[in-house]
Structure 1
Amino acid sequence: MSPILFLDFDGVLHPEPCLADKALSQLPLVEAILRDFPSVEIVISSAWRLDWWNEGEAVAVSNMRQHFSPDIASRVIGVTPFLGRRESRGLAPLPYPREAECLKWLKSNRPAWTPWMVLDDRAWWFSPGSVNLMVVNRDDGFMPSDEDVFRQHLTRITRQPMDTRKEYMTLFLDFDGVLHPDVCHRESRFCNRDRLQKILRDFPEVDIVLTTTWRLRFPLDSAGDTLKHYFSYDISERIVGVTPDSRNLDPRQFPDGLELYPREWECIAWLRANRPYSPHWLALDDKAYLFRPFCKNLMTINPATGFVGPDGRRLRELLRKHFQ
């Protein structure tokens, strides 16, 4: 799998601020270096991509390619998703927004072991000490004096051994019978949540997708009463979606008989659409009959108690074995 360069424009391919006739003035220098590393593919992380965001990624990529020489343009394969404007939806802003956008693109499009780097002028949009980030002085943009460091980064991502054992993990999470007993008083809802959150903090590679029927009644991520608001901030940021409703799926596109096990069917459908390179998953659920018999990806929870101490120890051991 080809290494990925996430590329910013403003403050990198030209100074910021700059006059219109100076836009992309440093692009020829960056392109000349990239020609020595032909395996590196490019994903645009610049805010320029947002001019076409509402028209779809394919349109945005096509327009971004027009700024590059033909041989380099063919290596521009994507644009990062946009995770901004969270405050308008009543949510806290992401602490490292551009890094989060890069990671979201990687998880949706590449295996976990894909080497990558970022060329950007805003260090505060990335976690401190990120080895994947090369910061450019925004007052000047990319200068000849930056070439050696850039080449070192490109050499690292093109030559480093790929640990193909490294994988993401998707946790499909039910609410009723898991985060609280299936039958419980309102004040006891989510009584098991903190136990699960504590474990997940030790495994940051795990993303969360909600399978609960609550997803059919409440939005995932918006102002007001949302599914993410039931979790602490750090865990809520790892909730990346909800499964589709099996009533809207076409059984002809899935293995024979899977429609008899609707929750597993919904999990597989979400993975196909969102994690084609990351097949590893685990479901926490109290209804085994919604999954195929002896499903190795299911951890069944007792609905009378929900996710309690022994379940926590078992989950921790499963995750430890997966990531060791």
Structure 2
Amino acid sequence: MKKILFLDFDGVLHPTHFAGENPFNRVDLLEEVLSKFSPEIVISSSWRFTHSIEKVQNLLPSSISKLIIGTTGAPVIGKHPRFQEIQAYLGTNGQANWRALDDSYWEFPSPCLELIRCNPNTGISNKQMDILSNWLA
């Protein structure tokens, strides 16, 4: 079964509040892991509402952008919206073995074994990359 990584940006690839810092300042950690594996990536970040997929791909290193196959669709209002958006994507595009890199844990049911929870104050760290690597291996 194919593997899909649903990728959030704020609180994952950079701290949620990154004023004065470069956006995507944690992307090198993700790039290192993905250099060994090639999961398909779907953008689940709210950036999908303000940036085209081409713009997002241009913001990310090419080693990551080449893995992007799409974005989740319309926003869901209600309980566990990010999880519901992912389920809608999978319902339309086919089931997959998936994980989500996200800091918005409240947007997922608890427990959600597919969620790799990030710290919104720092973004991804070696801890999340170890979990991602183990899943991808």
1:188 deviation in Å? 2.5
Larger Rg: 1
Instruction: Write the distance in 2 (CA, Å) between the matches of 1:186 and 1:218.
Output: 21
Instruction: Write the distance in 2 (CA, Å) between the matches of 1:197 and 1:296.
Output: 23
Higher fraction of helix:
1
Q: For 1:36-95, what per-residue CA distance to the aligned partner results, in whole angstroms no more than 9, with x for missing partners? A: xxxxxxxxxxxxxxxxxxxxxxxxxxxxxxxxxxxxxxxxxxxxxxxxxxxxxxxxxxxx
- Give the AA of the match of 1:282: R
Residues 204-219 of structure 1: pairs in structure 2 closer than 5 A: 204=38, 206-219=39-52
State the percentage of identical aligned residues.
34
Residues 1-324 of structure 1: pairs in structure 2 closer than 5 A: 167-204=1-38, 206-221=39-54, 226-247=55-76, 259-274=78-93, 276=94, 278-320=95-137
- Give the AA of the match of 1:297: E
Task: Tell me if the contact between 2:31 and 2:63 (Cα under 8 Å) persists in the aligned partners.
Answer: no
Instruction: Write the distance in 2 (CA, Å) between the matches of 1:186 and 1:268.
Output: 35
Instruction: Write the distance in 2 (CA, Å) between the matches of 1:282 and 1:219.
Output: 23
- Give the AA of the match of 2:74: D
TM-score, with normalisation over the residues of structure 1? 0.41
Q: For 1:264-316, what per-residue CA distance to the aligned partner results, in whole angstroms no more than 9, with x for missing partners? A: 00001111111x2x421100000110011101111110111100122212221
Structure of higher RCO (CA pairs closer than 8 Å, 6+ residues apart) = 2
- Give the AA of the match of 2:99: L
Q: Structure 1 314/247 Cα, relative in aligned 2: closer, same or farther at 3 Å?
A: closer
CA RMSD across the alignment: 1.5
- Tell me how many residue pairs correspond in the alignment: 137
Instruction: Write the distance in 2 (CA, Å) between the matches of 1:238 and 1:184.
Output: 25
Q: For 1:14-48, what per-residue CA distance to the aligned partner results, in whole angstroms no more than 9, with x for missing partners? A: xxxxxxxxxxxxxxxxxxxxxxxxxxxxxxxxxxx
TM-score, with normalisation over the residues of structure 2? 0.92
Instruction: Write the distance in 2 (CA, Å) between the matches of 1:238 and 1:265.
Output: 23
- Unaligned segments of structure 1, at least 5 residues: 1-166, 249-258
